[in-house]
Structure 1
Amino acid sequence: MKLHQLEALVASADTGSIRAAARLLGISQPAVTRALREMEAEQQLPLLVRSPSGLKFTDHGYALLTHARLVLNQLRQAESQMSIRRGQIEGRLCIAVTPWLSLTLLPEVVTEFRRRMPNVRLEFFDSFVMITQPLLRDGYMDLAIGQASPAMSAQEFLIEPLVRYETGIMVRRGHAKEGCKSIHELLDQDWLLNYAPDGRDGLMQEVFWRHGATLDEKRVVLAHSVLLSQTLVEQADMCTWVPSIMTAVPPFYDRTVLLDLEERFSPRDLSIISRRNGPQGSAALSFIDCLSGVIKRRLRSSNPVDRRVFATLTPL
């Protein structure tokens, strides 16, 4: 397989047609068609199905596409690393960040990182497992900073815990159930939850089942956005399970409350997650160093606001 063939395959998948792939790559349409046909001939397998409605990938095509994305993304990372070694200190760093970190430490971390590497282009995602896991796997994303999913095997991903944080049930301030004392009193409420497809049972076990509670599935709304979560908790009276720190930071502080329930929930680890077989470049290592430094400073801070915000965190 040749590089231009892999580029044609990925561009065709991203755009949905050979014509659009040619525009994306800046080459002729016959050149894209030829690259794809050469690849199919070399592999002796049908990779794409062409129809008036566009391109569709066969199972063989999807399998190869996964590897093609990884190869091209690793090449991009290699080029970025070589630029840094030439002293240009430029490139791209793509990171998923858990919401509570975005609301607390991230601005200071980014400021420090930009001072060190001003020419590196940063790209951030919310660290929801459904989004981050495939992007880490195919090499598009360099790091995820958040809670590791049970599906992230140690053989595939490197998981390095940073801090442990407490969790609890959050509702809007003034909610009808604000004074309740047990999870069983909340089973008639609508719930806002977030989990990957393979993470449902683990979350239900932690929040409900191990406390002898069963929540009607029709009560659950899935959300993969912090803004959406905030809106639904505040304006639709939904309950949600969150890191305790969320109620101590804007925009949730003074507008939400953590319920004082007799049930207790297990703490979670904030971890740095990366592909095990993908070496971390200088930019990624610098970002991790900035993050570690900010965490240490803020956890030791005597500032009353910092002490309130970070009271639920424990360094690891």
Structure 2
Amino acid sequence: MKIHQLQALVTVADAGSIRASARLLGVSQAAVTKALRELEKDQQLTLLSRSPSGVSFTEAGQTLLAHARLMIGQLERANEDLAKLRGDQTGKLAIAITPLVMLNFMSETITLFRQQMPKVRLEIFEGLTAVAVPRLREGLLDLLVVPMSSALPSREFDQELLFTYESCVIARRGHPLANCRSIHDLLEHDWAVNYTAASFEGLMRNIFWQHGAAIEPHRLHCAHSSALLVELARHNDMLSHCPRPLLLSDSLKDWAQPLELVEQFDLSQVAVIGLHNAMRSAASQCFVECLSTVIRKRRRSAKAHNRMLFDMLDVLL
């Protein structure tokens, strides 16, 4: 397998067609087609299914695509590190950030990062685990800053702890169930939550099962962005489960309230997560250092908001 063949495979997947792939790579359609056919010939497998409506990936193509993304991503990181040694700090850093970190620490972190690496282009995704983890596996992301989960096996991911926090059930102010004091009183109501197939059992155990509660599946509505979770809880009267420190944020403080339940939920840990044994690029390392610096600085602050925030966080740096 040659690098230009793998690049052709990845760009066809990203762009959706051979023509668009050629434009991204700056080559002719014939060159992309040739690279893909050579790759199929070398592997003695059909990787793409071609039709008048476009191309789709076979099972073999999907399998190779996952590896190709990781290899291309690692090569890009190597080029970035070598560029740094030449004094030319360019490239891209793709990260996913959990809303708790995004709303409290990202503005200062990005300012500090841009001061140190002004030529590196940032690509930032919302860090809900259900959305971010598949992107990391595919090599589309360099780092995650998200809550740790038992669905993230240590043999596959490296994790660097930042802090712990408590979670709570929330509802809009004035919600009919706002005065309930047990999870068992909330089982006949709709919930807005975020999960994957792998994380579903952990979510259910933490919120319901460990307290002897069972909820019907049709009561759980999975939203793949924090904005959707907020909308469903605020305007559709759904309950949700979120980090308690988020109640200080502008997006929740004016309308959301915690339900003070007798049941306790497990503490959650936010970590910097990357693929196991993947070398962290210079840009990735710089970003993590900037984030750690901002968290430590804010923890020492005497401002009222910071004191309230860090009363809810146990920093592990």
Per the TM superposition, whether the score is higher than 0.5 is yes
Counterparts of 1:7-156 in structure 2 under 5 Å? 7-156=7-156
Pair 1:211-2:199 in alignment: no
Q: Secondary structure at the match of 1:233?
A: helix
Measured after TM superposition, the shift of residue 202 of structure 1 is 1.1
Could you say which residue in structure 2 is the equivalent of 1:232?
232
Cα RMSD between the aligned structures? Answer: 1.5
Could you say which residue in structure 2 is the equivalent of 1:169?
169
Measured after TM superposition, the shift of residue 165 of structure 1 is 0.6
- Change over 3 Å in CA distance of 1:23–1:297 after alignment to 2: closer
Question: Partner amino acid for 2:272?
Answer: I
- Listed as ranges, the gaps of 5+ residues in structure 1 are none
- C-alpha distance in structure 1 between counterparts of 2:45 and 2:123, whole Å: 36
Measured after TM superposition, the shift of residue 239 of structure 1 is 0.7
Q: Secondary structure at the match of 2:87?
A: coil
Could you say which residue in structure 1 is the equivalent of 2:290?
290
Measured after TM superposition, the shift of residue 107 of structure 1 is 0.9
- C-alpha distance in structure 2 between counterparts of 1:119 and 1:36, whole Å: 33
- C-alpha distance in structure 2 between counterparts of 1:235 and 1:67, whole Å: 42
- C-alpha distance in structure 2 between counterparts of 1:274 and 1:24, whole Å: 27
- C-alpha distance in structure 1 between counterparts of 2:305 and 2:19, whole Å: 56
Q: Secondary structure at the match of 1:163?
A: strand
Pair 1:259-2:221 in alignment: no
Give the structure-1-normalised TM-score.
Answer: 0.95
Question: Partner amino acid for 1:70?
Answer: L
Provide, for residues 141-190 of structure 1, a one-character-per-residue CA deviation record: whole Å limited to 9, x for no partner: 11100112323221121011110111111111121111111111111211
- Deviates further, 26-35 or 170-179: 26-35
Measured after TM superposition, the shift of residue 79 of structure 1 is 1.6
Measured after TM superposition, the shift of residue 252 of structure 1 is 0.7
Measured after TM superposition, the shift of residue 310 of structure 1 is 2.4
Could you say which residue in structure 1 is the equivalent of 2:220?
220
- C-alpha distance in structure 2 between counterparts of 1:303 and 1:314, whole Å: 18
Equivalent pairs, count: 316
Provide, for residues 216-274 of structure 1, a one-character-per-residue CA deviation record: whole Å limited to 9, x for no partner: 11111111112112111111111111111011221211311111110011110010101
Q: Secondary structure at the match of 2:151?
A: coil
> Is the contact between residue 66 and residue 139 of structure 2 (CA under 8 Å) also seen in structure 1?
no
Question: Partner amino acid for 2:30?
Answer: P
- C-alpha distance in structure 1 between counterparts of 2:12 and 2:123, whole Å: 24
Give the structure-2-normalised TM-score.
Answer: 0.95
Question: Partner amino acid for 2:253?
Answer: Y
> Is the contact between residue 249 and residue 309 of structure 1 (CA under 8 Å) also seen in structure 2?
no
Measured after TM superposition, the shift of residue 22 of structure 1 is 2.4
> Is the contact between residue 172 and residue 257 of structure 1 (CA under 8 Å) also seen in structure 2?
yes
- C-alpha distance in structure 2 between counterparts of 1:102 and 1:291, whole Å: 11
Q: Percent identity?
A: 44
> Is the contact between residue 80 and residue 91 of structure 1 (CA under 8 Å) also seen in structure 2?
yes
Pair 1:186-2:186 in alignment: yes
Measured after TM superposition, the shift of residue 194 of structure 1 is 0.5
Pair 1:200-2:200 in alignment: yes
Could you say which residue in structure 2 is the equivalent of 1:312?
312
- Listed as ranges, the gaps of 5+ residues in structure 2 are none
- C-alpha distance in structure 1 between counterparts of 2:228 and 2:242, whole Å: 14
- C-alpha distance in structure 1 between counterparts of 2:137 and 2:58, whole Å: 20
- Change over 3 Å in CA distance of 1:187–1:277 after alignment to 2: same
Question: Partner amino acid for 1:8?
Answer: A
Structure 1 ranges of 4+ moved more than 4 A? none
